[in-house]
Structure 1
Amino acid sequence: MVTIAVTAEGPDEPRFAVSPETVKKLAALGAKVRVQSGAGLRSRFSDEALAAAGAEIASSAAAALAGADILLKVRRPAADELGQLKQGALAAAILDPYDRAGIEPLAATGVNLFSMEFMPRISRAQSMDVLSSQANLAGYKAVVDAASLFGQALPMMMTAAGTVPAAKVFVMGVGVAGLQAIATARRLGGVVTATDVRPATKEQVQSLGAKFVAVEDEEFKQAQTAAGYAKPMSAEYQAKQAELVANHLKTQDIVITTALIPGRPAPRLITSAMVANMKPGAVIIDLAAERGGNCEATVPGQTVEVGGVKIVGAVNLAASVPVNASSLYAKNLYAFLELFFDKKDKTFNINWDDEIVKGTLVARDGKIVHPSLAPQSA
């Protein structure tokens, strides 16, 4: 029987890698799930609930890890955790794989490492897409937090005493987080505009009842990779787009920035000069803060005020709704592990040629093997 270990995350990470629902499903596949006592409490998954679903509750992290075949985590595990697993074991987590200095010691343990951020954007992997499940919640929470900080109402209100104008909300970057931010802001009654360099997003923005704002030239029409990500744009295009955005920002009340390019620092979308021209009382929520921020004035993990404009360096925003975030993340992991189980005889076997396995495998047999990391290898 395959043993799956799940241990507590660090103090800054309230999310958890399994839920009572996925414990039950993993047990049905033929796995034994061993959970460190108390590790799920910050996501409101008690030991009792996990045990009732079929988990074995271990008294310590070491007891949960000892000889396990699989380690499931939210954040990157420590090398000493991996060292307690069975030889040839696998670990799946949000590994932050482009941090090569952090990954190399983990690879050296010989554990097969799977980075959930590298999940291929293909139809059969949609249920495993961690970035989408967590970004969806981050986009929602960004608008809720912004509304709280704004200090004014979002919807237009017509009263006997006068009319309250609707707040203007601008979403920069229309991926999963951006689309959810648009939808949430619209539900709250804001007048919503959005921008992105990918032409395919225009129709998505308009379908949610928002207005699309972008320089739509020939370069714009080619600004998307085959995988659906934004391409880096030329300096000429960036200058034209920056001018358009600068003028638009002057009238906005709430701005949500979500633009990220995998493996690169976050693109700079809002300069300090643009912030200086915004209305006092405006709020910027920067969802790219962990990668340096889309706004020049962003300080990761802090809220700063510049000329009356509040700028929130949002870090790990999905984790601020840990019950939902953990439930979705646990389902992502379950869908991924389900690939490896034969449901008839309940055996565990990895097909190393599967495109999902190839796409997410970062390290195997002590070596970093992922193609996107290969150019940096010695």
Structure 2
Amino acid sequence: MIAGILKEKNGETRVSLVPEVVKQLQQMSVTVWVEQGAGDNAFYNDDAYVQAGAQVKTAAEILAGADMILTLQPPSPELTAQIPSGKIIAGILQPLYRVHEVEDWAAKNITAFSLDTIPRTTRAQTMDVLSSQANIAGYKAVLLAAYSYSRYFPMFMTAAGSIAPAKVLILGAGVAGLQAIATARRLGAVVEVFDTRPAVKEEVMSLGAKFVEVEGAADASAAGGYAVEQSETYKQQQQQRIAESIAKADIVITTAQIPGKAAPVLVSNDMLDRMRSGAVIVDIAAATGGNTSATKNNETVHYKGVTIIGNSNLPATMPADASKLYAKNLFNFLKLILTKEGGLHLNFEDDIVKGACITHNGEIVNDRVKGMMQPA
């Protein structure tokens, strides 16, 4: 088996494999080819890959000769057109948002594995790329907010007077939200948290934050750790409670997303109008529309004195560690589909393999993706 690593495009600084994991793959009889400069932006240079046993190749050589293409971002339509029929691709392919591209993979007989569709079970934790990258996103969101905020985070008592601690509101207590809580508390802020899942209340409180409850949330226990759509009645109650908290907030971190759908708008224009001048919002859900009515992806918007930072790719601002964690997740998944001799072995009785496989043998095989397809 030859695994190829391509250099990521469109400003992505991470790389899908790091030299440490290259060594581990070699022990499984997997030969690794790396495109020249693939790891430079993550501070893993070509020499480090060569010392780990990889071979540096051109993109054309990798596309033509590698059996498996390992990536991080989904391949563009242009790249998909260059991938020969019958290859294997693995990465964060976002198939629920890319139905037409999934059809292209099937048409080219590409076997595609998307690590962001792996079921979020205890057994799959070591392969959970969403969690490993969201952890970084939550951490960096708070640091970015602190950098952009015009006041202190902690309380200070000085001879010149006292400074009140910043009030931080976090919408969503998933992995990113929990890390944001911990980081904001370490910086000395007072933190309030909303989440549609009452089950996370204990975790939120254990980190020193206040959990603001809204009654009547839809049961998310069968959603595999993902958020679910809520009723209109619940949304109205939620909006009212958020409006009360956001009027007092200095910093807002929004993390709410629903797989395959636009991010829910939790912060309306009316709420933004009530926020204090100088407040900062960091919207991690910007790539899928954002949690505020004014969010623009990859842009900073100034709305009546409120700074709204739309950034869904905060892990790329910590590319060395983000790449290391991603590569470990990917390696743990590859151990499920590769034999010790480097051969491909697909056990579709395994819920992780089944959940990650999007296309195989010229067909779309993933149930969640098929559910997103429009009727013919």
Shorter-chain TM-score: which interval?
A: over 0.9
What amino acid is aligned across from residue 225 of structure 2 in structure 1? Answer: G
Is this contact kept in 2: 1:199–1:221, CA < 8 A? no
Match among 356, 361, 369 for residue 360 of structure 1 = 356
Q: Secondary structure, in 3 states, of the residue corresponding to 2:71?
A: strand
1:81 deviates by 4.8
Query: CA separation in 2, counterparts of 1:222 and 1:369?
Result: 27
What amino acid is aligned across from residue 166 of structure 1 in structure 2? Answer: P
Q: Which residue of 1 aligns with 2:174?
A: 175
Query: CA separation in 2, counterparts of 1:221 and 1:91?
Result: 36
Taking the TM superposition and a 5 Å limit, the aligned residue runs for 1:270-349 are 270-343=267-340, 345=341, 347-349=343-345
Q: Which residue of 2 aligns with 1:257?
A: 254
Q: Secondary structure, in 3 states, of the residue corresponding to 1:304?
A: strand
Query: CA separation in 1, counterparts of 2:172 and 2:332?
Result: 28
Q: Which residue of 2 aligns with 1:129?
A: 128
Is this contact kept in 1: 2:198–2:213, CA < 8 A? no
Change (3 A) 1:44 1:372: same
> Residue by residue, what CA displacement relative to the aligned partner does 1:35-78 show, whole Å, maximum 9, x if unpaired?
011111011110000110111111x1011222211110011124
1:80 deviates by 6.2
> Residue by residue, what CA displacement relative to the aligned partner does 1:160-218 show, whole Å, maximum 9, x if unpaired?
22211110111000101000000100111111110101011111100101000122x2x
Q: Does 1:369 align with 2:345?
A: no
Q: Secondary structure, in 3 states, of the residue corresponding to 2:124?
A: helix
Query: CA separation in 2, counterparts of 1:223 and 1:112?
Result: 31
Query: CA separation in 2, counterparts of 1:21 and 1:348?
Result: 22
Work out the number of aligned pairs and report it.
373
Q: Secondary structure, in 3 states, of the residue corresponding to 2:34?
A: strand
> Residue by residue, what CA displacement relative to the aligned partner does 1:309-332 show, whole Å, maximum 9, x if unpaired?
101111311111111111111111
Segment of structure 1 superposing worse, 30-39 or 75-84: 75-84
What amino acid is aligned across from residue 349 of structure 1 in structure 2? Answer: H
Is this contact kept in 1: 2:218–2:228, CA < 8 A? no
> Residue by residue, what CA displacement relative to the aligned partner does 1:65-114 show, whole Å, maximum 9, x if unpaired?
22211110011124665566676431101112022122222222111001
Q: Secondary structure, in 3 states, of the residue corresponding to 1:279?
A: coil
What amino acid is aligned across from residue 150 of structure 2 in structure 1? Answer: G
Identical residues among aligned pairs (%): 46
Q: Secondary structure, in 3 states, of the residue corresponding to 1:123?
A: coil
Taking the TM superposition and a 5 Å limit, the aligned residue runs for 1:1-378 are 2-58=1-57, 60-78=58-76, 81=79, 88-98=86-96, 99-215=98-214, 217=215, 219-220=216-217, 222-343=219-340, 345=341, 347-375=343-371, 376=373, 378=376
Query: CA separation in 2, counterparts of 1:360 and 1:184?
Result: 32
What amino acid is aligned across from residue 96 of structure 1 in structure 2? Answer: Q
Query: CA separation in 2, counterparts of 1:167 and 1:279?
Result: 12
Change (3 A) 1:7 1:220: same
Query: CA separation in 2, counterparts of 1:358 and 1:326?
Result: 25
- Give the TM-score taking structure 1 as reference length: 0.94
Query: CA separation in 2, counterparts of 1:82 and 1:298?
Result: 30
Query: CA separation in 2, counterparts of 1:249 and 1:123?
Result: 35
What amino acid is aligned across from residue 67 of structure 1 in structure 2? Answer: G
> Residue by residue, what CA displacement relative to the aligned partner does 1:13-46 show, whole Å, maximum 9, x if unpaired?
1111000111111111110000011111011110
Cα RMSD (Å) of the superposition?
1.7
Query: CA separation in 2, counterparts of 1:327 and 1:234?
Result: 40
> Residue by residue, what CA displacement relative to the aligned partner does 1:289-311 show, whole Å, maximum 9, x if unpaired?
11111000111111111110101
Q: Secondary structure, in 3 states, of the residue corresponding to 2:105?
A: helix
Could you tell me which runs of 5 or more consecutive residues in structure 2 were left unpaired when the two chains were aligned.
Answer: none
What amino acid is aligned across from residue 87 of structure 2 in structure 1? Answer: A
Is this contact kept in 2: 1:199–1:223, CA < 8 A? no
1:339 deviates by 1.3
Is this contact kept in 2: 1:224–1:231, CA < 8 A? no
Query: CA separation in 1, counterparts of 2:211 and 2:70?
Result: 40
Query: CA separation in 2, counterparts of 1:14 and 1:231?
Result: 31
Is this contact kept in 1: 2:279–2:306, CA < 8 A? yes
What amino acid is aligned across from residue 31 of structure 2 in structure 1? Answer: K
Is this contact kept in 2: 1:225–1:231, CA < 8 A? no
Q: Secondary structure, in 3 states, of the residue corresponding to 2:217?
A: helix
Is this contact kept in 1: 2:88–2:110, CA < 8 A? yes
